[in-house]
Amino acid sequence: FLSLVAEFCCGFFVILILGNFWFLAVLYLLWLYFDWGTPSAGGRRSHWVRSWTVWKYFREYFPIHLIKTSELNPNHNYLLGFHPHGVLVAGAFGNFCTDPPFKNLFPGLTPYLHIMPIWFGCPFFREYIMSAGMVSASKESVSHVLSNKGGGHASVIVIGGAEESLNAHPGSLTLNILKRKGFIKMALKHGAHLVPVFSFGENELFKQVANPKGSWLRNVQEKLQKIMGFALPLFHARGVFQYSFGLIPYRQPIHTVVGSPIPVKQNLNPTTEEIDQLHALYLQKLQKLFEEHKSNYGIPAHKSLIFE
């Protein structure tokens, strides 16, 4: 969905340049130059955009649910690790970029969904995603959010990133996380409490072409991901009036479960050992969260998360 909107916005910008409105394109480029750092400085959210009626229907389509398991004190800042990426990241968008799900369950906390910086280079589209509460996934951006002195800020990071979308097959429980420790270091440097979040049903929205590791398709996808910065999963789902083929996601319920916070004491210069220890604790808490809730959402008892 975001890709389609981005393509439309870029196409509109090209029309301005080629048409009789080129001066508007020039004015926008000037605006873009002076506003370039905003996605790394907290963005520019709009409660009006986040409350559009269309998002209510978007959440009800699947439907998307946000489940609270513990209180999050708004006097602290938090770093929420979202899993898994899936193809669409529908749970992250529906729960953290639209009102009122998160606001109602966690009053006093403002969520910021961090996404790849490349999206903020798309004319006009960048204005929309910032209005929804999305900000850059750069270190500067995460630091800006977690540096709020009064607390009340929550960085939401999809830990597995674009690479994990290549594992987004129905029934898949594989997470790309073992080598991803940058979010742990950021939490330590800012004293932000860590919160594992698991979104049940995220991988059930699309069927992806078989791409096991080592296959020619997976090798090509991984090479393109390294070059472009984002992955290109080959997926399909349903159409508008039929269910056999199309790009509209299947109507599968998504239950995004927010776990209990892991208290983190600020450490401006954490050692590798300290980062590894907190990372191991985070994996333990994430696994525990999954095991405690999997039976509620149709996951067989013998299945567990696989960390790669």
pLDDT of residue 4: 53
Domain-wise residue ranges, the chain: 1-35, 40-307
pLDDT of residue 88: 86
**Tokens encoding 252:** 């599968």
Measured distance CA(191)–CA(98) in Å, rounded: 27
pLDDT of residue 86: 94
pLDDT of residue 206: 94
3-state secondary structure of 151: coil
Residue among 160, 154, 137 nearest 190 (CA): 154
pLDDT of residue 15: 63
pLDDT of residue 13: 56
Kindly report the backbone phi and psi dihedral angles of residue 65, in degrees, each rounded to the nearest multiple of 5, phi listed first: -125, 145
Distances (CA, A) of 144 to 39, 81, 127, 151, 191: 10, 17, 19, 12, 13
pLDDT of residue 255: 98
Residue ranges of the chain whose pLDDT lies below 50: none
pLDDT of residue 8: 58
pLDDT of residue 148: 95
CA geometry: angle 109, 99, 59, nearest 5 deg: 130
Please give the model's pTM, rounded to 2 decimal places: 0.92
Distances (CA, A) of 91 to 58, 144, 155, 187, 199: 11, 24, 15, 23, 6
CATH fold of 40-307: Glycerol-3-phosphate (1)-acyltransferase (3.40.1130)
pLDDT of residue 232: 84
pLDDT of residue 32: 87
pLDDT of residue 22: 66
